[in-house]
Amino acid sequence: MTTPQQFLELFLREKAASYTETRARLTTVYAKYFGEPLLQHADFFMPMDTVRAVVEDVRQSDGVVSAVTREHILRSDICTRYRLSAVGENWKIIGIDRECIMCRGSGQSNGARCQHCDGEGWHEPKRDAV
């Protein structure tokens, strides 16, 4: 069985490769369907091009692994927390959280508990979609 870190690093490499393939395919689609001046700004509509993600921390408790990564996107770093669970002889990602944009992961905003992440420092993006 691979370690949680090896599993997550493989996932991140495959995800980055998929984004690269998608960007290449979309370039052709946008060239076909976009007119000027929109075509000059087609990159705005592309999936984000990430610089290599780095696994910074891996912790395990109660059968769940928590792994924090840092990805450099555009001009800033984004921290993501992946929650992994062992399934048979492999791992599966069972949750993904982002560092809270309001408190930058501290859990505190304006001297009080951060309302956006409820003081956890992490935010589950799917909560906003519901």
Looking at CATH, the fold of the domain delimited by 4-99 is given as Nuclear Transport Factor 2; Chain: A, (3.10.450)
* Residue-wise pLDDT tens digits, 96-121: 999 998 998 999 998 999 999 999 99
Q: How do the domains of the chain map onto residue ranges? A: 4-99
Mean pLDDT of 22-38: 93
Give the C-alpha separation, 69 to 54, whole Å.
Answer: 5
Task: Assign 50 a pLDDT band (cuts: 50, 70, 90).
Answer: low
Query: CB neighbours of 19 closer than 8 A, spacing ≥ 6?
Result: 47, 48, 49, 50
Span 38-49, average pLDDT = 86
Answer whether 119's CB lies under 8 Å from 107's CB.
yes
List of residues 6+ apart from 63 with CB closer than 8 A:
85, 86
Band of the pLDDT at 127, cuts 50, 70, 90?
low
Is the model more confident about 78 or about 73? 78
Q: Picking from 18-32, 44-58, 75-89, 111-125, which range would have the lowest pLDDT averaged per residue?
A: 44-58
**ω into 37 cis (within 30 of 0):** yes
At residue 62, the pLDDT reads 82
* Out of 12-16, 41-45, 47-51, 77-81, least confident range: 47-51
Listed in sequence order, the residues at least 6 apart from 92 whose beta carbon sits closer than 8 Å to its beta carbon are 84, 85
